[in-house]
Amino acid sequence: MGSKSLKMIDSMFKSYKIEKRFGKKIKSFEPGGIVFEDDSILSSDLTIFIPASAGHTVLKNSDIPLTEAGFIKIDESCLVTGTENVYAAGDIAAIEGPEWKAKQGHIAELMGKQAAYNIIMKESGSSKRKSYKEHINILCIMDTGNGAAFVFRNGKRAFAIPMPWLGHLVKRGWGQYAQLTKRGIIPRFPGL
């Protein structure tokens, strides 16, 4: 997110009394919180765990080339390494890019579009290909229930904008816009 954005997010977390822990492996999840390898406990009323550092277990027993973490190795056109006709996109694929890259829904959607385009080009005999890499960015509206923070980062800039009461409404509006465009009820704005 960039150092300025992280400082702003950190102060936002502090105002909501959200604790963070870094560099400690999780030992177990308990009804009242999370126990770490050093037996310290992070108390929690609700724990949501999203394992971002390990690929799907089904892949481990396949012959698909995987990274050490278990994600599918792809090139920038989303073609699976060492194959001619197998593509992977989204959370299952190992994305390359800057250190700050993050797997987000809009990147997965873009990867799917690039893969579809590349398949069509290959099948039509064209050497044209599109890459997902040039589109890597972080775009996030962190909703806090009574406000939000807009976070953006690409290769050229990084910023976070606090959006006290308006942010929650923007996040809700964005969710409705996304649903309606994906279902084809309203047209999508170019570039979104």
Query: 78-122, pLDDT tens digit by residue?
Result: 999 999 999 999 989 999 888 888 888 888 989 999 999 999 999
pLDDT score at 164? 82
Which of 3-17, 87-101, 155-169 has the highest mean predicted lDDT (pLDDT)?
87-101
pLDDT score at 185? 94
Q: Residue 130 above 90 pLDDT?
A: yes
Average pLDDT, the chain: 87
DSSP state letters, 5-68: HHHHHHHHHHHTT-----S--EEEEETTEEEETTS-EEE-SS------SS--HHHHTSSS-B-T
Q: Residue 135 above 70 pLDDT?
A: yes
Q: Residue 51 above 70 pLDDT?
A: no
Whole-structure pTM value: 0.70
pLDDT score at 53? 67
pLDDT tens for 54-66 read: 777 788 888 999 9
Helix (H) or strand (E) holding 178: helix 166-182
Beta bridge partners of 18: none
Local confidence band at 189 (pLDDT 50, 70, 90 cut-offs): confident
